[in-house]
Amino acid sequence: MTDQTILSIRRPDDWHVHLRDNAVMRSVVPYTAAQFARAIVMPNLSPPVTTVEAGAAYRERILAAVPQGVNFTPLITAYLTDASKGEELARGFAEGVFTAAKLYPAHATTGSAHGVTNIANIMPALEHMARIGMPLLIHGEVTDSHVDIFDREAVFIERTLSKLVRELPELRVVFEHITTADAVAFVDDASDNIAATITPQHLHINRNAMFEGGIRPHAYCLPVAKREVHRLALRKAATSGSAKYFLGTDSAPHDKSAKESACGCAGIFNAPFAMESYAAVFEEEGALDKLEAFASENGPRFYRLPLNEDRVTLERIDTPVPELLELDGVSVVPFHAGETLRWRYRA
Ligand SMILES: NC(=O)N[C@@H](CC(=O)O)C(=O)O
Ligand SMILES: [Zn+2]
Ligand SMILES: [Zn+2]
């Protein structure tokens, strides 16, 4: 713990966010743009963003939703399918439309129905990406229903990721939203071409949060939160100062009614208080001095992009989080709803 009351850091970026589309997009973009200079925007729309033209059009729609006077750059990603071609990805990368490509194992998570059924189907595209230095972003869970849901990330490392990294060591890979000590060990031991994002929720909650006094759909996201030992490993990794770990909120808004349902959607909306949420973790770990590297430096270095020059502050002021945000097109229960966070973000 520390008695520090003001923290000034380089403006951060969010290296994994779901901005959706249409009315929902227009109401959630301002939250991300208020905190972050850039964001890696996930392509799991329906239909998914698979072509350069669709990526460019999506970027324009996002930019049109950024409030006047706010400086925010969306970085678009391509959604990989069994039919993805290296040439199309490379064209998007060369034109500055695609910053990376995203691998969703088919049916692993929300909006992954068109995802990849077998990584062998996209090996030529991945080889092409490795040659041009285009990062591959991975939702790392097996989809085999015989594998326990809490083991799906660890089994993905065993069955798929270790092999991919061995076969294509030059491929730059971001293992997205890691949730296990197994993932931390894998990333720590891997080459510098392998990095990982960590969400605020996986630093704050373990799997008990989903069952506290009853079923808690707002604590449900994928990959699902794991045991306490895994949360502690993630906290250690995020606050270690290692350049392999960086901020990716995985903010994923779903309407309250879609979460509070007999078959509730996976995804936690954390964009409105993302930096406040991360700051709480870093303070609790006595590592506020490591927050800037995690939030503002390690990501751009991995993506080979310039660091942001402007600065922001976090002030130690109690910040209540609303129970519900009534937005245009969606009513969302935000992460930390009803709690008071100890920091306030100022751009
Ligand atoms: N994280 C989630 O639980 N949901 C994400 C998809 C994803 O990132 O896996 C979504 O799009 O809703
Ligand atoms: Zn995911
Ligand atoms: Zn996501």
**What is residue 90's predicted lDDT score, i.e. its pLDDT?**
98
Ligand 1 atom 4, closest CA = 267
Indicate whether 319 belongs to any domain.
no
Question: Which ligand is the nearest neighbour of the Cα of 41?
Answer: 3
- Structure ipTM: 0.98
Catalytic residue among 13, 14, 182, 250: 250
Tell whether 313 is covered by a domain: no
Q: Is 6 exposed, middle or buried (0-12, 13-18, 19+ CB in 10 A)?
A: exposed
Dist. CA 143 → ligand 2 center (Å)? 12
Among all ligands shown, which has an atom nearest to the Cα of 139? Answer: 2
Ligand 1 site residues (CB inside 6 A) read 18, 44, 109-111, 139, 221-222, 250, 252, 266-267
Atom of ligand 1 nearest to the CA of 176: 8
Does a structural domain hold residue 197? yes
For residue 116, the CA-to-ligand 2 centroid distance in Å is 13
Per-residue model confidence (pLDDT) at position 241 = 96
Q: Classify residue 158 by its DSSP letter.
A: I
Nearest to 196 by CA among 250, 128, 263: 250
Domain span at 66: 12-305
Q: Could you tell me the end-to-end alpha-carbon distance of the chain, in angstroms, rounded to an integer? A: 24
What radius of gyration, in Å, describes the C-alpha atoms of the chain?
Answer: 19
Mean pLDDT of the chain: 97
Q: Is 82 a catalytic residue?
A: no
Q: What's the pTM?
A: 0.98
Instruction: Tell me if 317 is assigned to some domain.
Output: no
Identify the residue whose C-alpha is closest to ligand 1 atom 2.
267
Q: Tokens representing 20?
A: 């959706």
Q: What is the pLDDT along the chain (347 residues), one digit of tens a residue?
A: 456 899 999 999 999 999 999 999 999 999 999 999 999 999 999 999 999 999 999 999 999 999 999 999 999 999 999 999 999 999 999 999 999 999 999 999 999 999 999 999 999 999 999 999 999 999 999 999 999 999 999 999 999 999 999 999 999 999 999 999 999 999 999 999 999 999 999 999 999 999 999 999 999 999 999 999 999 999 999 999 999 999 999 999 999 999 999 999 999 999 999 999 999 999 999 999 999 999 999 999 999 999 999 999 999 999 999 999 999 989 999 999 999 999 999 88
* 3-state secondary structure at position 234: helix
* 177 is annotated as contributing to ligand binding: yes
Is 218 annotated in a binding site? The answer is no
Of the candidates 279, 270, 278, the one whose C-alpha atom is nearest the C-alpha of residue 335 is: 270
Residue 113 in domain: yes
Identify the pLDDT of residue 320: 98
The domain that contains 79 carries what CATH number? 3.20.20.140
